[in-house]
Structure 1
């Protein structure tokens, strides 16, 4: 793919002449110009200077399957199966869903940009090109759908462990599926489940992690947010970060298949951003207020109200601090 090869050359952030690019890509200089113009569709800024050539300011840290694969632990790589790296997709969850329907056992789907990335409750996930991490893991689990309670919490804990390994400070979890850093949203999780059998189901773990969110894209975000670049000095390549996440996620899936969430209940309390704080739970039909008292053995939220302890399960609900 010419566009991908062109980006690989320009990713170093230095000037490359049209002649050099044409020779390396095996196309004419006029074709180079057309390919450079097409990068605007991906919202990639390219400087063009007569006599010097083309340059992407600040360069790009492109996702690279070989670099990612080299950072995976051996047993994780063996279990992960299929790997798909794309420049642009509608959503990585959609690709994973299609692959599972076609018989895939396990795999990872990574994209530089999503045109229809989704969060929970129908929200859009802002997905600018080449700066954050967007990926989905497809997985067949030998447990029925009913045994998946608490899975989003287990995923969040695995991601938190990976980020702590990378030196990210003050990472906490917001029930049921957000990661916060210093109280601001850093990452989100969208889990989709196919199948209703008692002994097997198909999982899609969709994850978006803010690595270096551009200010222009951030204008579309309607809540406090942060990214890794503003929190960590000397941040490694996105490929290393992605591998660190996957190296924690795959063992978690193996453990969850055997033990469920109950084995993680006590650890959740260490990472619960809202424990002991006054919160509101909003659903399409009602609003509950009380004190967050952690979660039970199935991952349901425990809310202390005037009437006693209420148990709140996931779904179309929103948790927030009381104003």
Structure 2
């Protein structure tokens, strides 16, 4: 079997150097092969220190997802039965792979998770940057037993579930930005992208994509070379003493999404708009809403029971539909 770069990464640690020859002997390959894999990992953003005569070691702790651990923990702790779990080293998009899965039975869920997503997208087709083995990049598949039109409020509803999960971990100053972004200390830390398919008046196939910045600041990538047009942060920056693994974060987030879907099936709480206001990043702030053809300014007044942004304008209150606009604070030039 051909040696994978992930196998080399799993042998490295922060505590001590490991020589290229020892790695080559361990895998019965040439030192040139080891060097190629080290170069590949470094190109993907894994911070590896290389010292002549001593070998290689990690600049920061790094852990890959463990499929058997995830499977065991999800089977033990999830609020609904797990149907399938796919854990990849690299795929184009977890949402694309999730859409290709068979629809799980009602009341069960499937998960697609990857170390590296090469063509991830957020809202309105924006690229989602996630260096190798640093962030949480996954999609949850669910057979929603409600018509397609009832899924409109799911983005803000599940964003609150993720916000609550991160806050429970101790991540400070968590807020949500309509419709589906999660912020910590006024910087983006996570985002959701939901894709639905089905008939308007029958059950629909639901894919909930989630990206969480976990250890992104430890990547060696030069982010100035990438188009990141908004302030961002990650869990390890906000919680420097966090000792959990990426599997810990993934399980918490998956369970938060599934718990949200289970409760949503039972009916959206009438108090949800009040719950949203407790987490609302832009509550009562001046904002401008941009569509492809128009820009509207006003005061953000929370969301409606249908998940629309309530915008107080000079002409009265307008309700902005999910997925049609981008939202910006008037004083902010970023999305």
| TM-score, normalized by the shorter chain, greater than 0.5 | yes
Match of 1:246 among 249, 254, 259: 254
Aligned ranges 1:139-154 → 2 under 5 Å: 139-154=142-157
- 2:216 alignment partner in structure 1: 213
Asked if structure 2 preserves the Cα contact closer than 8 Å seen for 1:173 and 1:272, the reply is: yes
**Secondary structure at the counterpart of residue 180 of structure 1:** strand
Separation (CA, whole Å) in 2 of partners of 1:48 and 1:216: 16
Match of 1:223 among 230, 239, 242: 230
Structure 2 CA distance for partners of 1:217 and 1:88, relative to 1, 3 Å: farther
1:299 aligns with 2:286: no
Greater CA drift, 119-128 or 44-53 = 44-53
- 2:279 alignment partner in structure 1: 271
Separation (CA, whole Å) in 1 of partners of 2:190 and 2:131: 14
Q: Write the deviation string for residues 267-296 of structure 1: whole angstroms up to 9, x where unpaired.
A: 111111111111111111211111111111
Separation (CA, whole Å) in 2 of partners of 1:234 and 1:123: 32
Separation (CA, whole Å) in 2 of partners of 1:190 and 1:69: 23
- 1:204 alignment partner in structure 2: 207
After the TM superposition, which segments of 4 or more aligned residues of structure 1 sit over 6 Å from their partners? 101-105
The unaligned stretches of length 5 or more in structure 2 are none
Structure 1 residue 64 displacement after superposition: 1.8
Separation (CA, whole Å) in 2 of partners of 1:8 and 1:243: 21
Separation (CA, whole Å) in 1 of partners of 2:195 and 2:269: 17
Structure 2 CA distance for partners of 1:77 and 1:20, relative to 1, 3 Å: farther
Structure 1 residue 44 displacement after superposition: 3.4
Asked if structure 2 preserves the Cα contact closer than 8 Å seen for 1:80 and 1:250, the reply is: no
Separation (CA, whole Å) in 2 of partners of 1:68 and 1:171: 26
Aligned ranges 1:9-20 → 2 under 5 Å: 9-12=11-14, 14-20=16-22
Aligned ranges 1:108-257 → 2 under 5 Å: 108-214=111-217, 216-219=221-224, 220=226, 221-235=228-242, 236-257=244-265
Give aligned pairs, total.
Answer: 323
Separation (CA, whole Å) in 1 of partners of 2:193 and 2:14: 33
Structure 2 CA distance for partners of 1:78 and 1:281, relative to 1, 3 Å: closer
What TM-score, normalized by structure 1, do the two folds share? Answer: 0.90
Greater CA drift, 151-160 or 81-90 = 81-90
- 2:56 alignment partner in structure 1: 54
Asked if structure 2 preserves the Cα contact closer than 8 Å seen for 1:93 and 1:206, the reply is: yes
Structure 2 CA distance for partners of 1:161 and 1:24, relative to 1, 3 Å: same
**Secondary structure at the counterpart of residue 137 of structure 2:** strand
Separation (CA, whole Å) in 2 of partners of 1:134 and 1:254: 22
Structure 1 residue 254 displacement after superposition: 0.7
Q: Write the deviation string for residues 31-64 of structure 1: whole angstroms up to 9, x where unpaired.
A: 4344434435534354444443333332412222
